[in-house]
Amino acid sequence: MMSLKELYRRFRVWQVEPFQYEDTVEQHVCVNCGRSYEGDFCPVCGQKNDEDRVSWKSVGQELIKIWGMESRSLLSSVLQLLGRPGYLIGDYISGRRQVCYSPVSMLFVMAVIVTVVLQLAGVKVVNMDAVETTEYAAMGKAAVWMVNHLGWGMLIITAFLILPTWLLFRYAPRHSHHTLPEGIYIQLFMSTLVLLIFVLSQAFAGWLLWLVPVYYYIAFRQLFGYGVWGTFWRTALAWSISPVLALLISMEVMYLTGQIPSDEDSAKTYTLGFFALFIICMGILYIGYLIGKRTRHK
């Protein structure tokens, strides 16, 4: 029987490099364009070398492709997201696009699955009584919209982590100077992971939700390569700042739409408070950015 130490070693190897590719030297003739070639795919039209006449196997393969269960399958990508989240994200933003299912499609397919599970379980995420009250009308309607559009809703929530992550991990040992578009894809993957944890937590009375910050820490450590403390304080700071930024933007929208009193004194107080809190948040993030720049990996 394989020892726990050997199992862990193999798991670590799989985390870093889950796929092994082998070159084939066998000659093939493409049934699509007639080109002779070596390898698994035709270099002219891209058709795979095992395509043949339509069979029951072909029918089954086409059916499972609808749900992303072929190569780079949804299931395989979800398992990678659970077992090697940071490495998977790093592979994808580095250009290795064949390692997983499309992150955009994965998020929205997962949102559909979560919606179905919640409806079958009779779970109500939003208190509809609160939505009807005047005090919470605007925020309640926004919450209802996000619940009805889980993919977009989760992406909007995690989008507030894009700027803090971009600043705090700017000079990381791995994937340093990652761009804001790459930050969007980082949060696409993490949004899918959060949705997955959320739906799993419904079977355990919600207590599995504590895995969300833990997985963010694991993903950021694998992705950016900082040590235990360097990853911890940056992740904790990003998680602390992002809800404040979300609250500031929400309050500003409510103020502009008349949900918050707009008499002269209240307007001055609100404006001063808004800019003071915003400047404090940006100042903290900038200090984190400078620390990263000063101690960057050589």
**Higher pLDDT among residues 208 and 69, named by residue:** 208
Range from 30-39, 104-113, 263-272, 287-296 carrying the lowest mean pLDDT: 263-272
Evaluate whether residue 52 is within a structural domain: no
Q: How far apart are CA 193 and CA 187, in angstroms?
A: 9
Indicate whether 47 belongs to any domain. no
Give domain status of residue 190, yes or no: yes
pLDDT band at 297 (very low <50, low <70, confident <90, very high): low
Smallest CA-to-CA distance from 112 within 199, 212, 206, 215 is with 199
Residue from 11, 19, 15 nearest 72 by CA? 19
Q: Which helix (H) or strand (E) holds 243?
A: helix 228-256
CB-CB contact of 248 with 258 (8 Å): no
Through-space distance between the first and last CA atoms of the chain, rounded to whole angstroms: 43
Give Dmax (Cα) for the chain: 81
Report pLDDT for 24.
66
Q: What percent of the chain has pLDDT over 90?
A: 29
pLDDT band at 134 (very low <50, low <70, confident <90, very high): very low
The proportion of the chain whose per-residue pLDDT surpasses 70, expressed as a percent, equals: 73
Residue 36 forms beta bridges with which residues? 29
The answer to whether residue 233 is domain-embedded is yes
Taking residues 117-146, report their average pLDDT: 60
Listed range (24-28, 53-57, 86-90, 208-212) with the worst mean pLDDT: 53-57
β-strands 36-38, 27-29 pairing: antiparallel
The reply to whether 30 falls in a domain is no
248 vs 64 pLDDT, higher one: 248
Residue 283's pLDDT is what? 92
Reply yes or no on whether the pLDDT at 69 is more than 60: no
Q: How many structural domains does the chain have?
A: 1
Q: Residue 37 forms beta bridges with which residues?
A: 28
Q: Residue 243 — very low, low, confident or very high, per pLDDT cuts 50/70/90? A: confident
Neighbours of 99 (CB within 10 A): 18
Whether 259 shows a pLDDT value over 70: the answer reads: no
Does residue 39 lie within any of the structural domains? Answer: no
DSSP state string for 186-241: HHHHHHHHHHHHHHHHGGGTTGGGGHHHHHHHHHHHHHH---HHHHHHHHHHHHHH
> What tokens appear for 213 in the block?
């910050």
Containing domain of residue 90, as a range?
60-294
Bridge partners of 198? none
Q: Say if CB 147 and CB 126 are below 8 A apart.
A: yes
Q: What is the mean pLDDT of residues 130-139?
A: 52
Question: What's residue 205's pLDDT?
Answer: 67
Average pLDDT (232-253) is 86
Query: What amino acid is encoded at 282 in this protein?
Result: M
In a domain, residue 267? The reply is yes
pLDDT digits (tens, 9 = 90+) for 150-192: 777 778 888 889 999 999 999 999 998 999 999 999 999 999 9
**Helices (H), strands (E): how many in the chain?**
13, 2
What is the per-residue pLDDT for 258?
A: 64
The token pair at 77 is 């990508």
User: What confidence score (pLDDT) does residue 82 get?
Assistant: 93
Give yes or no for residue 128 having a pLDDT over 60. Answer: no
**What φ, ψ does residue 297 adopt, rounded to 5°?**
-70, 125
Domain assignment present for 7: no
For residue 63, what is the enclosing H or E element?
A: helix 56-66
Q: Are 198 and 209 in contact (CB under 8 A)?
A: yes
